[in-house]
Structure formats: C-alpha cells, structure tokens
Amino acid sequence: MDFSLSVEEREVRDWVRTFVQRELIPLEQEVLRRERAGQPGLTGEELTKLQLKAKESGFWGVQTPEEYGGMDLSAVMAALLEAELGRTFVPFRFGGAADNILFHANDEQKQRYLLPTISGERKSCFAITEPGAGSDAKAIRTTARRDGSDWVINGEKTFITGGNEADFTMVFAVTDPEKGANGGVTCFLVDRDMGWRSEYIDTMGEWGPAALVFEDVRVPSSQILGEEGQGFALAMQWIGRGRYLLPARAIGSCERLLSMAIEHANTRETFGAPIAERQAIQWMIADSGVELDALRLLVLHAAWQVDQGMDSRHAQSVAKLYGGVKANEIVDRVLQIHGGMGYTRELPVERWYRELRLLRIYEGTDEIQRRTIARNLLKGHVKVTGMLG
C-alpha cells in the first residue's frame, strides 16, 4: 500500500492550494459581507473571471474527457483538489464541467446543451427531488403526458441546486405510471423559456436552492435525454457520479478549522496559561485530528475504487456518512474552543457551522447512508473485513 503522491499529483495539488491561498481566501471578508446583506457571495462575472484565471494554467474541466477540452483527472486527484477548494467557503468551482448524464445526449443535443455547458455559455440543473419524493426517488409525481409528437409536463421539484440560475433543466417525469420507476420515468431537457419557473428557497446556510414549477410545459419528443422510460437509470447514474466528492470538500474545511482551533488554543490564555494546556481542549484537538485522518482515508479509498472500475457505492456511502457526521462534530468543537468569539459573526466559524450541516442531508441523508450500509452488510454484498477482503 503506497500512500504517497506522484510528483505530478503533488504539483497539481499544490497549484490548487496556492490558487486558493492567493485568489480565494483574500475574498472571504467581502463574501461574508455580501452574504450577510442578502447578496450572492460571488457574482457570475466574478466566478467566470476566476475560472478563466485558473484555465490559463490548464485547470479547466477537472473530470471532463480530454476530447471535450477537459483534464480528465482521476477520481483520487479530483478528491484531492476538492479538499483544497474546501479550505475556503468562497463559492468557487472550476469551469469546463457538465453533468455526467449530459454525455448521453445525441449529437444535436450535445451541440445545444453539452458543449455550451462545458464552455460556460449555458447553465443546467438536475431536477428529480420533489416535496414528497426526496431520498425515495421512485416516488416522484411529476408527469409527462404525450400529446401528439409533444409531451406536456406538470409537477413541482424542490431543493434544486442551481435552479435559480439555470437556463435549462434535466427534469425527470413519469411517462408510464404502470411501469413504475424502471421503465416508466423519462428525463427531458427543458429550456427555461419553454415555460417552467423557479422560486428561491431560503435556508439557514448560503446555499440557495430552488423550487421548479411546471404547469402544462410543452416539449417536443426530441428533448428526451437518453431513451424514453430509462430516466431512472440516468438519475441513479447522476446521483452516483461522485458522492465521495462531498466529504472530500469537507476534508479541506476541517483542516482549516482545526488549524484555527490549534492557533487559538496556543494563544488564548485563562488563569495564566494557554488553554492548549487544558486536558479538555487537548482531547477536542486529538479527537478531531484522528477523525480527520480517518476521513481522508475513507474518501481516498472510495475514489481509488472508482479509478479501479470497482463498484464503489458502498465505500462512497461510508465516506459520505462519516464525513457528514464528523465534519459537524469537528466544527462544533472548533466553535466551542473559540468560546463566545466562535459564536459571533466576527469569525467565519459560524459560517462553516451552517454550511457543513447540509452535508448530513443533501445527496443522501445520514439515515439513507446507514440504510444502504446496513443492507449491504446484512445481505452479504460486502464483507465485514472491508477493503482487505
């Protein structure tokens, strides 16, 4: 087992670390000011400018195939880069990416949707979650009724990431109720100007999801992505595209937070001594360090399985569950170590506190991950010996 990075991998990771340090972290105070005023942390123009600056050094389409102008990096490398981006709460992502299921588009659809999305000319969103169908994706109620050569879509989607900014959506609707999820759900590419609307959902964090409303939205059959009735398989492919990347980003957040806690513990004095000398503080630091090490290994192991072409769903569920729970415990300890100052908005700890809470909910709640993990163990799909077989 070789845990070392190659020279090239280390250089790529270090470039992103430097980019975060020089270009993103200096923006944090302004991002906080804007968010507290109810404004976006970064405008679309500012994000694009940063993305183009990264592109000048070759960082464009981190996991996009080379034939589409991307870097086509490995899953392990993508996880390492996501961890570096997690060192700041500035809402940055590299440009040149597109939803993995868009690559299933036909040639005409690729010209209208895939290529413009990769280039940054268009913005998409993935719409499957509904008010009554969250983790149970098979319970969707949005319908698409055939009317001649067209389909008429009715229904509502909720908590859709990017739904307020998107100019087109990949929406999943029931096209044959008798067939159920497997064979009765279809994915449609629907432009905003075809008639759907979005409504902003206010949350405790800075993530601003949307509700998408479809009222007799008419689309031609040419807007079907993939094949009619095969939408659920596409949805599962989208959901499983890289769940390990969510806890990967939390690694960077926790590294930064723990560093803040260590610095504060070494400088804050009570009763004539730094609080770092108090056993209660030492145990918080120790537990956080151990959990952070474990999280790195779980995330990188899941990513390694992806690179090996293995079925990594179980490993990704383990990493997602552990990452969500432990990231929240770590940020809670860091806030506690900072005392009253940690609770104020003078420090960004409370900002991370709100952001990391979402990790235990979206793209599969803790409870769903536990259900998946338990089922795999109880039915013998995975062994209790884990990665060693």
- Say how far apart CA 116 and CA 270 lie, in whole Å: 58
Annotation marks residue 84 as catalytic? no
DSSP string, 47-75: HHHHHHHHHTTT-S-TTS-GGGT-----H
Among residues 46, 84, 363, 367, the one annotated as catalytic is 363
Specify burial of residue 170 (Cβ count, 10 A radius: 0-12, 13-18, 19+).
buried
What are the helix (H) ranges across the chain? 7-19, 28-36, 44-55, 75-85, 107-109, 115-119, 181-184, 231-239, 245-267, 279-307, 313-338, 340-343, 349-357, 366-378
Specify burial of residue 345 (Cβ count, 10 A radius: 0-12, 13-18, 19+).
exposed
Contact assessment for residue 190 and residue 173, using Cβ atoms and an 8 Å cutoff: no
Residue 389, C-beta contacts closer than 8 angstroms, at least 6 positions apart: 383
How many other CB atoms are found less than 10 A from the CB of residue 357?
17
Active-site residue set: 363
